[in-house]
Amino acid sequence: MKKIIVSVLALSALVLTGCSQEPKQNLDNFAKCITEKGAMIYTSTTCSHCQKQKVLFGDSWQYIKNVDCNDNPIVCSNAGIQGVPNRVINGENIMGQQSLEFLAEKTGCEI
């Protein structure tokens, strides 16, 4: 009986450990660097991929230079933005949701 209880407790601890979330990285410096490099991201409040991109940055999103194309359609039109999310990094338009690693590679910023 003791072995069963110990086994159940060990299994429960293993499951709970596997379900715990890793602490979020502090991406403030990374986000600030991306902005300092002149990168711009065009988003929309109705775009699910845009929202997922924001989630990747968490609270550090506040340091990302971005334009919401719902609120600023003329700005986006003048920039030639035809879809979101769209980034302009070093003069290159990059469409779609991107990983932090990809953005680090494109900007030269460290995560």
96: pLDDT strictly greater than 80: yes
In the predicted model, what is the mean pLDDT of the chain? 85
Task: Give me 65's structure tokens.
Answer: 């230079």
- Residue 54 and residue 49: Cα distance in Å, rounded? 9
Query: Is the pLDDT reported for residue 81 higher than 60?
Result: yes
Long-range contacts made by residues 94-103, C-beta under 8 angstroms, separation at least 24?
96/49, 97/49, 97/50, 97/52, 97/53, 98/53, 99/56, 100/27, 100/30, 100/56, 103/34, 103/39
Q: Is the pTM of this model over 0.85?
A: no
Q: What is the CATH number of domain 26-107?
A: 3.40.30.10
The model's pLDDT over 63-76, given as tens digits with 9 standing for 90+, comes to 999 999 999 999 99
For residue 26, what pLDDT is reported? 86
Domain ranges of the chain: 26-107
